[in-house]
Amino acid sequence: MSTVEERAATPARSATPSRGSVRRRTGRRTRAELALLLGPALTLFALFVLVSIAAAVYYSFFDWNGFGPPSRLVGLANYRKALADPVFRGAVRHNLVFAVLSVAVQLPLTVALALLLNGRLRGRALLRLVAFTPYVLSEAITAVAWLVLLQPGGAVDRGLRSVGLDSLVHQWLADPDLVLYTLFAVSTWKYLGFGIILFLAGLQGVPTELREAAALDGASAWQTTRKVVLPLLGPTVRIWIFLSVIGSLQLFELVWIMTLGGPAGSSATMATYVIDRGFRRYQFGYGSAVAVVLFAVCFVFALAYQRFALRRDTGGALTGRVD
């Protein structure tokens, strides 16, 4: 090739963009799109979540009543006081009781009702609506409604007496040995519909062919459910347990409206304890310390559960970048 021809060919080759430059432009465009789409959400998250957490941690080191700037630094005294308070330890125990009862009672009940409502049943749509309706109600409406129903001489007591069950009439919200389980029953009524809808969605992912194959092999309906359906519902069960336990640790509205954590702290939870000490008694520094403890408990549980339970479900969800 002559020198003239080489010079003529050189600009043509340089005009073609290299693969590296294309990747750089694509990467810049992707980062710009992510910044545009995620920027507002991340800004709001940082402002209302991260800044709030940092403020709570800061105030937890002060003996502060909420008036004026905090000035009396006490270090970790608020945390030591919280861990030594028998009322707070009782509140932690109540949250754990709620979490254990949720898994032991609500889980099998929810799965059983979901399996029932997933079958061919007359009026199935209406039954699903009835089961899901309580979840749509706000916690405040639910708490006020059940507070009226459970009053001495209320609808619940009258209903028991009308069928000759006078011995079952109790002070539902005033008995220290009974109030926590009464609140759990109300919570079950409130949130059962959410679990049913969640498991119904999970049942839609169970292939019909597997059930038919099990039936052809001579398996009964119970054997098919136990050996085929329930194992395939494992990811849904693990998600439900996570949501249920986190909700039990953060339980507040139902308890606060119905009992204020009473009588004598027998139904207090960590969240009601925070509000009682922080906003009712103006111990904002101490309340901030308790709030940090509550956040730490939920955060540690979430990390541990993700590591040991949810990892098998999310391990294949994230893939590497394909060039």
Query: Given a cut of 90, is residue 220 above it in pLDDT?
Result: no
Dist. CA 277–CA 267, nearest whole Å = 15
pLDDT in tens, 107-144: 999 999 999 888 888 888 898 888 899 999 999 999 99
Q: With the C-alpha atoms ordered 63, 69, 72, 76, is the resulting torsion angle positive or negative?
A: positive
How many residues comprise the chain? 323
CA separation for the pair 195, 241 (Å, rounded): 10
Paired with 226 in beta bridges are none
CA 169 to centroid of chain Cα atoms: 33
Percent of the chain with pLDDT over 70: 90
**Average model confidence (pLDDT) across the chain:** 87
Whole-model pTM: value is 0.83
**pLDDT at residue number 314:** 65
Residue 7 has pLDDT above 70, yes or no: no
Band of the pLDDT at 1, cuts 50, 70, 90?
A: very low
What pLDDT, in 10s, does the model give residues 282-298? Answer: 999 999 999 999 999 99
Q: What was the pLDDT predicted at 18?
A: 67
pLDDT, tens only, 172-211 = 999 999 999 999 999 999 999 999 999 999 988 888 888 8
- Rounded mean pLDDT of 77-97? 94
CA distances from 186 to 1, 127, 160, 173, 307 (A): 89, 19, 17, 11, 32
Q: What is the pLDDT of residues 225-263, one digit of tens each?
A: 888 888 889 899 999 999 999 999 999 999 999 999 989
Helix, strand or coil, per DSSP, at residue 69: coil
Residues β-bridged to residue 62: 73
Q: Which pLDDT score is estimated for 85?
A: 93
C-alpha distances (whole Å) from 193 to each of 97, 112, 116, 189 are 21, 12, 13, 8
Whether 270 contacts 96, CB under 8 Å: no
Higher-pLDDT residue of 21, 46: 46
**pLDDT score, position 315:** 60
User: Tokens 């008694």, residue?
Assistant: 281
Residue with tokens 């910044």: 35
For residue 95, give every residue at least 6 positions away whose Cβ sits within 8 Å of its Cβ, in sequence order, or none: 248, 249, 251, 269, 270
Q: What is the pLDDT of residue 16?
A: 57
Give me the pLDDT at residue 87, please: 93
Report how far residue 256's alpha carbon sits from residue 187's, in angstroms, rounded to the nearest whole number. Answer: 13
